[in-house]
Amino acid sequence: MSESAQPVLYSFRRCPYAMRARLALHVSSMVYEHREVVLKKKPAHMLSLSPKGTVPVLWLRGAADGRVLEQSLDIMLWALRQRDPLGWLPASDAGMADALALIAHNDGPFKQQLDRYKYPNRSGLDSGAADRDEAAVWLHSLDARLRAQPFLAGEHFGLADAAMAPFVRQYAHTDPTWFAAQPWPALASWLAKFEASDLFQAIMHKHAPWSA
């Protein structure tokens, strides 16, 4: 594929949505152009492709219709359906339904609680402790799942793990001392292995801000 036909990913290094898109693109060996975004100065071209103004945005520049994928999960599924060498996509309809249900809770209630925990002032709260504790109930259920099987996806790291680990990481890093003191050893081990993996290191490479 010529450079001018490569897909273009607008991304921000620390955004968990962008992280999971990069995870899938990397594992699928997809060749693409990475454009690192400065959130306070978003590129005009990115905004013309996706007026919502959030990352990630994948522009399929080489496609006949120049399609734009604006949702991180859509980017993951697109990449893995091109090539899935590690078998991240569930093999059965039931497995896919289970993965999507986990991701839906992650992206819905858990993400809302995470935002209020991490940035309580933005929601007019004095403290994010209540939302931290509500989110912890679900994390304990993930810990129970990880006690029964090595990964959220089952016997090997898969779609659900890649889609959710960046968000659990953000929760853990909000107050690392508190997180480390909680009785969820399987969850903590799963997260530590993810953060120490070659895959995570590869997608966290620093890129200079892109400019047109």
What tens digit of pLDDT does each residue of 77-94 get?
Answer: 999 999 999 999 999 999
**pTM here?**
0.95
Report the alpha-carbon distance of residue 64 to residue 84 in Å, rounded.
23
The CA-based dihedral angle spanning residues 106, 110, 115, 116, taken in that order and rounded to the nearest 10 degrees: 170
**CA pseudo-torsion sign 175, 198, 161, 163:** positive
Fold designation for 93-198: Glutathione S-transferase Yfyf (Class Pi); Chain A, domain 2 (1.20.1050)
**The two structure tokens encoding residue 17:** 């949505």
Report the alpha-carbon distance of residue 166 to residue 72 in Å, rounded.
12
Q: Which CATH class is domain 3-86?
A: alpha beta
* Residues of the chain above pLDDT 90, percent: 94
* Residues of the chain above pLDDT 70, percent: 98
Total count of residues recorded for the chain: 212
Query: Which residue has tokens 């991240």?
Result: 88
Do the Cβ atoms of 60 and 69 come closer than 8 Å?
Answer: yes
Report the alpha-carbon distance of residue 25 to residue 143 in Å, rounded.
27
Q: Residue 56 CA to chain centroid, in angstroms?
A: 10
Question: Between 45 and 66, whose confidence is greater?
Answer: 45
> Binning pLDDT at 50, 70 and 90, where does residue 5 land?
confident
Do the Cβ atoms of 163 and 103 come closer than 8 Å?
Answer: yes
Do the Cβ atoms of 61 and 2 come closer than 8 Å?
Answer: no
Domain spans, the chain: 3-86, 93-198
